[in-house]
Amino acid sequence: MANQAQVSQKKSFTDRMRVVFKGVLDPIGGFLNRLGITPNTMTMLGLLGNVVGAWYLSQGNMLAGGLYILICTPFDALDGTMARLRGEASDFGAFVDSVTDRYSELFILGGLLYHFLSVQDHISAMAVYAAAAGSVLVSYTKARAASLDFSADVGILTRVERYLVLAPLLLLNQPSLAAWIIAVLANVTALQRIWKVRQQARKSA
């Protein structure tokens, strides 16, 4: 099979954001490295902060939960930057980073799910379930495509976009709206990736 991963395509929004903010992240990452903070520490701090944020969400405190998520989720970009500046970037580090991201997101959505079930808002609870399923499938379709030598870096709602939807709407006390937007657009993104792989598979047949 031809190496489909080499097919040229537009960069994802997440990739473009990393390029745009490189001039900001590099100095911050360098400063944290000089303080002796390790990339793994940043990864764990980000996860812990999001877990705390999820707990606040579960208690119905959307402002506090949103603030924790707003502050801690960008650690995802900093840990990779710090590892690169140290010359310690590795495949295993990237793997752990990605897995931690999934845990963070599922903890956050789990907190929202608990809250909606507590207040008997079953419709919004179903939206959170659909959002969690879509978020997992966005990551899974990309990883599964790569394992088959295809590329699936497409879609309108990757992790950065989900963060940009979730954090502001939580601060505005609109958790149900955030859940519905992610539920719809994350699953649309997964379908976009499935279609992208189908196109590549048909060309290579």
Check residue 19 and give its pLDDT.
66
Note the pLDDT of residue 38: 81
Tell whether 6 is covered by a domain: no
Q: Which CATH number belongs to the domain containing residue 61 in this structure? A: 1.20.120.1760
Residue 59 located in a structural domain = yes
Give the angle subtended at the CA of 201 by the CAs of 155 and 161, to the nearest 5°: 10
Quick one: pLDDT at residue 126?
98
Residue 79, in any domain of the structure: yes
Dihedral sign (CA 81, 84, 86, 91)? positive
Q: Is residue 3 part of a domain?
A: no
**CA angle (31 as vertex; 83, 45 as ends), nearest 5:** 60
Task: Name the residue with tokens 């930057």.
Answer: 81
What domain range is 22 assigned to?
A: 11-204
Q: How far is CA 98 from CA 79, 122, 200, in A?
A: 11, 30, 25
Say if 2 falls within a structural domain: no
* 143, part of any domain: yes
pLDDT the model gives residue 3: 43
Supply the pLDDT for residue 95: 83
Catalytic hit among 76, 79, 97, 101: 101
Cα(142)–Cα(151) distance, integer angstroms:
7
Structurally, how many domains does the chain consist of?
A: 1
Is 101 annotated as catalytic? yes
Question: Mean pLDDT, consecutive 10-residue segments, the chain of 205 residues?
Answer: 43 62 73 81 89 97 96 80 78 82 94 97 97 95 92 88 93 96 96 95 85
**What is the pLDDT, as a whole number, of residue 9?**
47
1 inside domain: no
Per-residue model confidence (pLDDT) at position 2: 41
Q: How much is the pLDDT for 91? A: 76
The answer to whether residue 82 is domain-embedded is yes
